[in-house]
Amino acid sequence: MSETRVSPRERLVLTAIIELYIATGEPVASQAVARYFENREGLSSATIRNVMASLGEAGLLDQPHTSAGRVPTAAGFRYYVEQLTQSGRMAAGVPLATALGRAQITEHQREQIEDSFSGVTSANEYLERTSRVLALLSSGLGVALASATATQVLEHIHFSRLAQGRVLAVLVTQAGAVQDRVLILDRDLSPLELDTAARYLNENFRGWPIERIRIDVSRRVEAEREAYHQLLASIEELCRKGALATEGDPTVFVDGMANLIATEMDRERLRQMLAALEAKQRLVELLTAYVDGRQQEVRVVVGLEQASPAMQDFVLIGAPARLGNANQGTVALIAPTRIQYQEMIHAVRYIAQLSGRILDVPAE
């Protein structure tokens, strides 16, 4: 909805309705809007009713029942967020993330957030803690995405045989990340072959960037196929099936799923939304699509129906976080559209910026 299609009076009434709805969760009547203004704007209940009708025709408000008040639509929330972002830029002449970040978090909130990250020493711990903190702050879903990179370095790898053709691979990087995955192999490997393969990788490639290990294993297979055919073929199989898969397969931390159940009445729609979120790959796609790691901006997306129809009444607030000297990740929350937008935008931005200090990385 462009700004020219909403008059200043309509904007005032829409903002009042949205803020009252966020506070109460109930449809907002014209009398409540009149009390909200306390006659400061010179708006009578009759005038407010006419404005509400116009906003309804514009698709910004909905009337659940004939005699009930109005509730904001996804388009109404989207317009509200656009006004927040534009006013932030216009007032300060700087990007939204900077404008909203100025003196918007109280000292008490700042201390609460920082206490929540006490003892964190690695990127993975930071991201895991972030998903928990954002879930608590928003009463929604906290999500943190660790962007994989070719600079990750092998510390240790271990293989365990689960069943015929199924192997558990546990990969530890020198940055402290621990990843495990079940590999489905084309042929069965004995425990002795798995131990030999793990020992070979650990003894020969500890301290190597993981992408270089993949390349060098393939090179050695070609150069020494006759002498080490069984050994290196086993290692190649494990690597090819994903034992060392990091790039392109980010780690996702999720917390607060129960919060969504506690705050939404539409159980069937929520059930569909949760089913969509169960596949973590969908979360990776969601964050990748909406949050640009190259920008230092908080991104607010109201209505996620493009990701899943069941998420049309949810909002995503996310921001890129710098992890280490070069690695990047994403921190975000997903919550019902009835959320304290400014407070959550400030919290997401502040937590995203904490990564540099927590991990002893100078801010750029």
Local mean pLDDT, 10-residue blocks, the chain (364 residues): 69 92 89 82 81 91 80 90 66 37 66 86 79 86 71 84 89 78 86 88 86 77 58 68 62 69 55 57 72 73 78 85 62 88 89 77 43
Domain that holds residue 124: 96-147+250-358
For residues 35 and 39, give the distance between their C-alpha atoms in angstroms, rounded to a whole number: 8
Q: Indicate whether 200 and 235 sit together in one domain.
A: yes
Contacts of 350 (CB under 8 A, 6+ apart): 101, 105, 110, 113
Q: Indicate whether 136 and 275 sit together in one domain.
A: yes
Task: Please say whether the beta carbons of 335 and 270 come within 8 A.
Answer: no
Distance in Å from the first CA to the final CA of the chain: 36
Residue 186's alpha-carbon distances to 167, 200, 234, 314, in angstroms, are: 11, 21, 11, 42
Q: What is the 3-state secondary structure (H, E, C) of 33-82?
A: HHHHHCCCCCCCHHHHHHHHHHHHHCCCEECCCCCCCEEECHHHHHHHHH
Domain-embedded: residue 91: no
Q: Indicate whether 257 and 320 sit together in one domain.
A: yes
How confident is the model at residue 14, as a pLDDT?
93
Domain-embedded: residue 245: no
How confident is the model at residue 268, as a pLDDT?
57
Number of domains in the chain: 3
Of 221, 240, 259, the position where a domain reaches its end is 240
How confident is the model at residue 363, as a pLDDT?
40
Domain-embedded: residue 82: no
Q: Indicate whether 269 and 177 sit together in one domain.
A: no
Of 211, 240, 269, the position where a domain reaches its end is 240
How confident is the model at residue 364, as a pLDDT?
42
Q: Indicate whether 49 and 190 sit together in one domain.
A: no
